[in-house]
Amino acid sequence: MIVDGKDSTRTDHNKRRILYVATKPNMWRKLYLLLLLVHSVAASAQELEPRAYSRSPVGTTFVAVAFGRSSGDITTDPSLPITNVQATIYSTAVGLGQTFGFFGRQALVTASLPYAWGDVSGQVGEQTGSVHRSGLTDIKARFSVNLFGSPALRPREFAAFKQRSLIIGTSLTVSAPAGQYDQTKLINLGTNRWAFKPELGLSYPIRKFDLDFYVGAWFFTDNPHFFPGNSDRTQDVLPSAQAHISYTFRPSLWCALDSTWYSNGATHLNNGPPTGLQNSSRMGVTLSLPLVKQQSLKIAYSSGVTERVGSNFTTLSVSWQHVWFDRR
């Protein structure tokens, strides 16, 4: 399954056997579909983020540290001789964010630096292989602004404000190609391309409940240095949607039921026919727990519900967040 003639952790026999499979006339073209699906372990379309457009006073700054584990199988096109694909990926990230006023509306900018490591294994025909990777993945940054229902308020004004109306927000997420990438290897932690996701979000409070719904789509630039280094890989638009319902017990103590769906995102190699059309959905739960003053812990769990082609992963993540306010 895995093609990496340079993997020093394998025996010479396995290297030659796996490399032979990869260099068959049409086999490595089929393999590339599998390896693109591996990227969906941490694909943005699988993100489940409740309260992404929640209200905060302007001048709020936060730092977060997160750790996650994703494991499971990857479902490939039944016409391909690729089977028993398994992956276990660990990741950690440090994130920073701040709210501010933007033409009188509440806005937020965040950025995260992630690091990942893990193993992928599987079969192509009768050939079996596995590979280990560790290193930086692509940096992500996000800018959001609440267009309606959430004015820019200082902490004292925010404390006196009662939210009773719908919040309409929009955001742009950017994924920058800063991750580890080697054009001579099929499996990489980085994607060697830019990606952009515009999104529209709705949030509606009902007493202690919050109902969230987001729709967006990922747009990708080309990767002109795909394996073995001189191939051009493109990917079609990948639409996605999220829905969440959360309940607040008290400030910083809340839980949410999460869901997401994504479809399409077919890939092309050297302007060839589309492959790897995705169609998957996920469900999850999120729990936010208050710690000491201005600190909280968030625990999230999610799992695949339906996968036609794509990853069926179980993901568990834990993140610590510290918040402080500009009280001027």
Look at residue 97 and tell me if it is in a domain. Answer: yes
Look at residue 18 and tell me if it is in a domain. Answer: yes
Look at residue 5 and tell me if it is in a domain. Answer: no
Count structural domains, the chain.
1
Tens-place pLDDT, residues 118-175: 888 877 667 777 778 899 999 999 999 999 998 999 988 888 887 778 999 999 999 9
Q: Which residues contact 16 (CB under 8 A, 6 or more apart)?
A: none
Look at residue 35 and tell me if it is in a domain. Answer: yes
pLDDT band at 44 (very low <50, low <70, confident <90, very high): very low
Look at residue 269 and tell me if it is in a domain. Answer: yes
265 within 8 A of 257, measured Cβ to Cβ: no
Look at residue 47 and tell me if it is in a domain. Answer: no
pLDDT band at 326 (very low <50, low <70, confident <90, very high): confident
322 within 8 A of 62, measured Cβ to Cβ: yes
Which residues face 141 on adjacent strands?
111, 174
Tens-place pLDDT, residues 70-93: 888 766 555 455 667 788 889 999
Q: What is the CATH number of the domain that holds 262?
A: 2.40.128.130
Look at residue 203 and tell me if it is in a domain. Answer: yes
Look at residue 1 and tell me if it is in a domain. Answer: no
Q: Which residues of 251-272 are buried (b: 16+ CB within 10 A; e: fewer)?
A: ebebbbebbbbbbbbbbbbeee
Domain that holds residue 262: 12-41+52-325
